[in-house]
Amino acid sequence: MPLLNYAERMEKLKVSEVREIIKFIMQPGIISFAGGIPDGRLFPMEAVADISQKVLNECGAESLQYASSEGYIPLREQIKQRMAKYGIQSEVENILLLNGAQQGIEFSGRILLDQGDIVLCESPTYLGALNAYKTYQCDFKEVPCDEDGIIPEELEKILKTIPNIKMIYTVPDYQNPTGRQWTLERRQQFMEVVNRHHLPVVEDSPYYELRYDGESLPPLKALDTKGLVIYLGSFSKIFCPGLRMGWVCADRNILQNFILAKQSCDLQGNTFAERQVSFYLRDYDIQAHIEEVRKTYKYRRDVMQEMIESEFPKNIKNTAPKGGTFIWVELPTDVNAREVLQEAVKKNVAFIPGGSFYPESNTENAMRLSFVSMDEQEIRKGMKLLGQVLKTFI
Amino acid sequence: MPLLNYAERMEKLKVSEVREIIKFIMQPGIISFAGGIPDGRLFPMEAVADISQKVLNECGAESLQYASSEGYIPLREQIKQRMAKYGIQSEVENILLLNGAQQGIEFSGRILLDQGDIVLCESPTYLGALNAYKTYQCDFKEVPCDEDGIIPEELEKILKTIPNIKMIYTVPDYQNPTGRQWTLERRQQFMEVVNRHHLPVVEDSPYYELRYDGESLPPLKALDTKGLVIYLGSFSKIFCPGLRMGWVCADRNILQNFILAKQSCDLQGNTFAERQVSFYLRDYDIQAHIEEVRKTYKYRRDVMQEMIESEFPKNIKNTAPKGGTFIWVELPTDVNAREVLQEAVKKNVAFIPGGSFYPESNTENAMRLSFVSMDEQEIRKGMKLLGQVLKTFI
């Protein structure tokens, strides 16, 4: 049977390596440091049971009916109030509910990118963003980073020398995959540069509230005086990912374009799920829940770091993230993490090889380890096994 | 503040007129024949309350967790079995769950359309499909239709004379906006033509089970011997739209491209909603529910037709749909339905002007009337008012 003639944009797309690995590790018995999958044992199951009934009782048929594309107004109001605590001033009219922050990444590409445009990103950066943007046949340019975030001078240099730069994608807080948090000074310098160049910024911020040490810093959006920052938030890491509840907060004109994208892509969100999240925020103490999640994940991060120190070969380097879900491990340059994964999987341990997170460079000597999905015992056991595997390579 | 430089594809997009009108008519006191919005009074609320608890009890944290992009396997199995009753033979691997059938329309454009490609469609056709495809900077060509569906000779003529035709979008059962059902003979002739030209077909089928008279005919997908038909189904009209549960059934190679689209757009569906629908199908008799919905809508269709006859001017023409949610009314050529709407709204009655449903031609003398959202009394009252308005124009 002859194949169809697909659109040109499909040529560059391949199945998400991470999601394919996640499919594999969904099997029982696998110790997985691969996906940044929240530990389901922490989900507030009883609260969800309670609010699901309340939604049906209080909202009735409206909770299962068509509704506006923008989403449930009370939830947008609650999001506005939550963001105000981070320093983001907004109105309900600046907020659109999304199927997770991923949909916001996709929409930002859809409304901004023409073929051949360049997207700037951190080096390394979130794979799912690269996949979403690739659909629009753009190119990528990695901006050099250090432990404090994007290096403003490097950004400035790139903006001065390369034409066609259309936007920059960033994860300033506890980045996927490195766990890095940009410093306040860097945030200010960064905004100064993008303001000068009138460059739209996507601030992808799903980990903002998963802070374990230090202090929360103002999101870029809180420092945005020119309406250039498209802020993406999510309930996936602080409540649960299965309800697919995220949002975008942006300047009205940008938001209008996001609404157009929403209408043509799937008309509107899930009205029941929007109310579930809204009622949870109304009737339960999400801050107390986040506190519990933080405490658990912080402990696991500490255990993982301890195990890296005791079990991994000495000539590796790892980040010491202050929040989020990932530790990034750099191996000696001659070690290919994809080969390490093949051996690790034989011992029922999984992680994501770092090579996937670079759009341009061929950097294969890194691993992304998630410390949130497994409990202490699993982390200790898996890291020991992984250490053994690494020692056969190094 | 200077505006951003948006992507070229955004130029042709405008806010969905239908969804903007729907926003207006969400206000209490409006008699709306505008959206094909199911009557929420028929939603099985108690069943949803029951299954929501069962999902949490039986599936636990899994029902709120990340999962595979393809969707919950038991639901895909149930969909496969339901489609087998319509005559569609498939495997679970041919099925991907979607956020409503709209997401499938969008994905079909995404994987198939390059700039300048031509999409064939019925004349008139579903507005939401036009909006989704426009994103990919395609052009449209309307294929002439009569009461029996697309005219195969006209399709053949177009395929022979116009290059760049990439796909055809169809709604063979109780079409939006006309309510038309293609005859069996036309379906067979159509498949013969598209097979010969190896033309991919999107079969958008949200109304298939809302049949009031006559018999169900095989979907195009059931007649598809070459893997060319991309079948889109939905639970929106037979269960409820708020959970946003639709699916695509297609050839494996096409489906693989849909999965890529799903991964980059929103990673996966809502795991809780997928289980809600699956448990509903497992524990309740959806056929009995559909029977009740059918009986109610059939009666309303009859009332609306009766009111057209008694209250509308004589020199109009209307379809007599055997299923679905819409009646299509053609006014004398010098009457503009958008102007009629402006007057109708003053009397708190709404509908959708037909002009929105033609991508090419400027046909403004038609109205789409939904008969499903309002009850008998509301239909009688609204149609009487609409008749009065029409008589001032005709």
Q: At residue A194, what is the residue type?
A: V
pLDDT on residue A28: 80
Cα–Cα distance measured from residue A47 to residue A380, given in angstroms and rounded to the nearest whole number: 31
Q: Is the peptide bond before B177 cis (omega within 30 degrees of 0)?
A: yes
Q: Does A27 touch chain B (CB under 8 A)?
A: no
pLDDT on residue A330: 97
Cα–Cα distance measured from residue B295 to residue B212, given in angstroms and rounded to the nearest whole number: 7
Q: Does B268 touch chain A (CB under 8 A)?
A: yes
- The average pLDDT across A356-369 equals 92
Q: How does strand B201-204 pair with strand B165-170?
A: parallel
Is the predicted pLDDT of residue B17 greater than 80, yes or no? Answer: no
Q: What is the pLDDT of residues A192-220, one digit of tens each?
A: 999 999 999 999 999 999 999 988 999 99
Q: Does A16 touch chain B (CB under 8 A)?
A: yes
Cα–Cα distance measured from residue B167 to residue B189, given in angstroms and rounded to the nearest whole number: 17
Q: Does B237 touch chain A (CB under 8 A)?
A: no
Q: Does A28 touch chain B (CB under 8 A)?
A: no
Closest CA to A123 of A180, A75, A41, A193: A180
CB A217 within 8 A of CB A148: no
CA distance B333 to chain A (A): 30
Is the predicted pLDDT of residue A152 greater than 90, yes or no? Answer: yes
Chains A and B form CB pairs within 8 A to the count of 244
pLDDT on residue B29: 84
Q: Using the beta-carbon criterion (under 8 Å), do B60 and A45 form an inter-chain contact?
A: yes
Q: What is the pLDDT of residues B55-74, one digit of tens each?
A: 999 999 999 999 989 999 99
Burial of B225 (0-12, 13-18, 19+ CB in 10 A): exposed
Cα–Cα distance measured from residue A326 to residue A351, given in angstroms and rounded to the nearest whole number: 11
Q: Does B135 touch chain A (CB under 8 A)?
A: yes
Q: What is the pLDDT of residues A220-248, one digit of tens each?
A: 999 999 999 999 999 999 999 999 999 99
Q: What is the pLDDT of residues B332-372, one digit of tens each?
A: 999 999 999 989 999 999 999 999 899 988 899 999 999 99
Longest Cα separation, chain B: 61
Is the predicted pLDDT of residue B1 greater than 60, yes or no? Answer: no
Q: Does B198 touch chain A (CB under 8 A)?
A: yes
Confidence of residue A185 (pLDDT cuts 50, 70, 90): very high
Q: Which residues of B touch A2 (CB under 8 A)?
A: 198
Q: At residue B110, what is the residue type?
A: R
CB A225 within 8 A of CB A147: no
Q: Does B265 touch chain A (CB under 8 A)?
A: yes
Strands (E), A16-122: 31-32, 95-99, 118-122
- The average pLDDT across B77-100 equals 98
Name the residue of chain A whose CA is nearest to B72's CA.
Answer: A242
Mean pLDDT computed over every residue of chain B:
95
Name the residue of chain B whose CA is nearest to A18's CA.
Answer: B263
Closest CA to A245 of A103, A32, A108, A342: A103
Closest CA to A277 of B61, B49, B64: B64
Cα–Cα distance measured from residue B365 to residue B354, given in angstroms and rounded to the nearest whole number: 7
Cα–Cα distance measured from residue B99 to residue B95, given in angstroms and rounded to the nearest whole number: 13
Distance of CA B42 to the CA centre of its chain: 19
pLDDT on residue A2: 52
Q: Is the peptide bond before B38 cis (omega within 30 degrees of 0)?
A: no
Name the residue of chain B whose CA is nearest to A200's CA.
Answer: B4
Taking each helix axis from N to C end, the angle separating B376-393 and B286-311, rounded to the nearest 10 degrees, works out to 30
Q: Does A110 touch chain B (CB under 8 A)?
A: yes
Burial of B248 (0-12, 13-18, 19+ CB in 10 A): buried
- The average pLDDT across A3-24 equals 76
User: What DSSP state is assigned to residue A39?
Assistant: -
Q: Using the beta-carbon criterion (under 8 Å), do B198 and A61 form an inter-chain contact?
A: no
Q: What is the pLDDT of residues A274-289, one digit of tens each?
A: 999 999 999 999 999 9
CA distance B271 to chain A (A): 5
Name the residue of chain A whose CA is nearest to B24's CA.
Answer: A68
Residue B33 tokens, joined: 């024949």
The pTM of the full predicted model, rounded to 2 decimals, is: 0.96
Q: What is the pLDDT of residues B285-322, one digit of tens each?
A: 999 999 999 999 999 999 999 999 999 999 999 999 99
pLDDT on residue A19: 66
Q: Does B63 touch chain A (CB under 8 A)?
A: yes
Q: Using the beta-carbon criterion (under 8 Å), do A68 and B26 form an inter-chain contact?
A: yes
In percent, how much of chain A has pLDDT > 90?
89
Cα–Cα distance measured from residue A319 to residue A206, given in angstroms and rounded to the nearest whole number: 19
Is the predicted pLDDT of residue A18 greater than 80, yes or no? Answer: no
Q: How many contiguous H segments (helices) and E segments (strands) does chain B have?
A: 12, 15
Pick from B7, B53, B61: CB nearest A113: B7
Instruction: Report which of residues A300 and A19 the model is more confident about.
Output: A300
Cα–Cα distance measured from residue B370 to residue B94, given in angstroms and rounded to the nearest whole number: 33
CA distance B79 to chain A (A): 20
Q: What is the pLDDT of residues A90-127, one digit of tens each?
A: 999 999 999 999 999 999 999 999 999 999 999 999 99
User: Which among A51, A69, A138, A244 is the top mutation candidate for probing chain B, defined by the most B β-carbons within 10 Å of its own β-carbon?
Assistant: A244
User: What DSSP state is assigned to residue A236?
Assistant: T
- The average pLDDT across A368-392 equals 97
Name the residue of chain B whose CA is nearest to A117's CA.
Answer: B7
Domains and CATH numbers, chain B: 8-44+288-393 (3.90.1150.10), 45-283 (3.40.640.10)
Cα–Cα distance measured from residue B245 to residue B209, given in angstroms and rounded to the nearest whole number: 16
CA distance A302 to chain B (A): 24
pLDDT on residue A15: 66
Angle at CA A153, nearest 5°, toward A148 and A155?
85
Instruction: Report which of residues B176 and B215 the model is more confident about.
Output: B176
Helix (H, G, I), strand (E, B) or coil at A98: strand
pLDDT on residue B83: 98
- The average pLDDT across B363-387 equals 97
Cα–Cα distance measured from residue B286 to residue B313, given in angstroms and rounded to the nearest whole number: 40
Closest CA to B235 of A272, A104, A259: A272
Q: Does A67 touch chain B (CB under 8 A)?
A: yes
- The average pLDDT across B88-97 equals 98
Instruction: Report which of residues A394 and B208 the model is more confident about.
Output: B208
Q: What is the pLDDT of residues B112-150, one digit of tens each?
A: 999 999 999 999 999 999 999 999 999 999 999 999 999
Helix (H, G, I), strand (E, B) or coil at A391: helix
Q: Using the beta-carbon criterion (under 8 Å), do B67 and A265 form an inter-chain contact?
A: no
Which A residues in the span 274-333 are in contact with B, Cβ-Cβ below 8 Å? 276
Q: What is the ipTM of this complex?
A: 0.96
Buried/exposed B26-65: b ≥16 CB within 10 Å, e otherwise? beeebbbbbbbbbbbeebbbebbeebbebbbeebebbbbb
